Amino acid sequence: MSKDPGREKITGASYDRGRFRVVTLRNIALTAPYMHDGRFATLEEVVDHYSDHIVSSVTMSPFIQGNLNLTAVEKKDLLYFLRMLTDSSFINEAAGGGPCPNEESDRVHEGQGRE
């Protein structure tokens, strides 16, 4: 395990040792390296980790105590799923643009609609 104490550094509670924020998986294929310390260079390594190399500890979520023991096909399916979370319209958007205009431009559009 890495030397980073995780949330314990903030709260001082040993219960929080090794706890880290669950991060978003949105656009995960574009944001390597992975984990708080960048220990995994690829999503394949992350999936292998969850499948085969989980080191259980008292502070680990009950959802991931023990390896998932995925088959080769399940690993592949999971990788396809993770890559599917890439939002190409979002990443190609110009800053400030997009489907949710700010209040100011809402007013402009409303005004134009009524004229």
Long-range contacts of 56-63 (CB under 8 A, 24+ apart): 57/1, 57/18, 59/15, 59/16, 59/17, 59/18, 59/19, 60/18
* Residue with the shortest CB distance to ligand HEM: 36
70 close to 78: Cβ distance less than 8 angstroms: yes
- Cα gap 47→111, rounded to integer Å: 51
Which residues would be at the binding site for ligand HEM (CB under 6 A)?
20, 22-23, 28, 31, 34-36, 43, 46-47, 50, 61, 63-64, 68, 78
Shortest distance, position 105 Cβ to ligand HEM, whole Å: 32
In single-letter form, the type of residue at position 59 comes to T
- Which among 82, 79, 99 is positioned nearest to 90, based on CA atoms? 99
Nearer to ligand HEM, 20 or 108 (CB): 20
Report in angstroms how near the CB of residue 101 gets to ligand HEM at its nearest: 29
Q: How far is the CB of 18 from ligand HEM (least distance, A)?
A: 9
CB closer to ligand HEM out of 76 and 109 = 76
Q: Closer to ligand HEM by CB, 21 or 114: give it.
A: 21
